[in-house]
């Protein structure tokens, strides 16, 4: 299927590895020009080179820095001639017990996982509406639907973003102008982040592969997801065909969430 977005421009935040990279790669395959971002320059430049090598017809620009910082967001916006597609992403906050978290810890989580996406959305959606096309995809977490106790910072900050998007996506001045905003909720995907989580669960005392296998067994699909399939779904959400799909929280978890809705 031709997704009908060749020649468009996208900002993909936190895209040197993992799910963000999967989204960037899938958009690149559709002929979308990219501005990609991450804090570490080495992996970011490597990803940018890979994307250029595999997709000769597109332009790929990179902006190094923490997307939670205003000057990095300004650089991202300046590097993108016209933002048709915005994929918001950042690393997840650390696990822990809420009794230990300070106001600073909360502000960090809110900055990265709620306020950074909102600021980028604020800077882009009205121009998208004026042009009659816009797609915003926020990478959040399955924990928004089924909270994970030790990820309280993530549960809280991402739920804040989710509530905000639910209202904004339904503004008719956006929805009637073909601007959609949706959240993608990953379950367990095989990325560096997942490997770190599994290592933490093993705590050096249990066999890592055993811990991974136990986790896989709790997923009806019997496996972890991969960044390519996540990216392909994201690209469809960003496609010309997905203009009637807005304000949704789409869970990709191999059937792990046990509820009917």
Residue ranges in contact with ligand NAP by CB under 6 A: 14-20, 37-40, 43, 66-68, 89-92, 112, 139, 141-142, 186, 188-189, 191-194
C-beta of residue 249 within 8 angstroms of C-beta of residue 144: yes
C-beta of residue 6 within 8 angstroms of C-beta of residue 59: no
Nearer to ligand NAP (CB atom), residue 58 or residue 67: 67
Helices (H), the chain: 18-29, 41-54, 70-79, 103-110, 116-131, 152-168, 172-175, 192-202, 208-217, 227-237
Nearer to ligand NAP (CB atom), residue 134 or residue 186: 186
Nearer to ligand NAP (CB atom), residue 158 or residue 174: 158
C-beta of residue 185 within 8 angstroms of C-beta of residue 140: yes
Nearer to ligand NAP (CB atom), residue 51 or residue 68: 68
Nearer to ligand NAP (CB atom), residue 132 or residue 255: 255
C-beta of residue 28 within 8 angstroms of C-beta of residue 2: no
Nearer to ligand NAP (CB atom), residue 31 or residue 95: 95
CA–chain centroid gap for 32, Å, is 17
- Following DSSP, what letter does each residue of 106-154 receive, concatenated? HHHHHIIIIIHHHHHHHHHHHHHHHHT-EEEEEE--GGGTS--GGGHHH
CA 215/CA 52 separation, integer angstroms: 36
Under DSSP, the state recorded for 225 is B
């Amino acid at each position: 299927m031709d997704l009908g977005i060749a020649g468009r421009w996208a900002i993909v935040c936190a895209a040197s590895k993992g799910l963000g990279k999967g989204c960037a790669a899938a958009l690149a395959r559709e002929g979308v020009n990219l501005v990609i971002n991450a804090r570490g320059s080495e992996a970011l430049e490597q990803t940018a080179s890979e994307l250029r090598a595999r997709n000769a017809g597109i332009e790929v620009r990179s902006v190094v820095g923490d997307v939670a910082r205003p000057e990095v967001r300004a650089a991202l916006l300046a590097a993108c001639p016209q933002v048709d597609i915005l994929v918001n992403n950042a690393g997840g906050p650390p696990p822990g017990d809420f009794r230990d978290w300070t106001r600073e810890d909360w502000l960090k989580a809110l900055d990265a996982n709620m306020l950074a996406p909102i600021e980028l959305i604020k800077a882009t959606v009205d121009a998208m509406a004026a042009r009659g096309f816009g797609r915003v995809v926020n990478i959040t977490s399955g924990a928004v639907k089924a909270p994970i106790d030790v990820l309280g910072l993530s549960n809280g900050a991402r739920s804040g973003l989710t509530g905000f998007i639910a209202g904004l996506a339904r503004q008719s001045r956006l929805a009637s102008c073909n601007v959609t905003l949706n959240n993608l909720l990953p379950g367990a995907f095989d990325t560096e982040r997942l490997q770190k989580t599994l290592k933490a669960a093993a705590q050096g005392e249990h066999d890592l592969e055993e811990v991974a296998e136990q986790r896989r067994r709790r997923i009806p699909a019997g496996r972890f997801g991969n960044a390519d399939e996540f990216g392909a779904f994201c690209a469809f959400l960003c496609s010309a065909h997905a203009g009637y799909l807005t304000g949704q929280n789409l869970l990709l978890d191999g059937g792990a969430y046990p509820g009917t809705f």
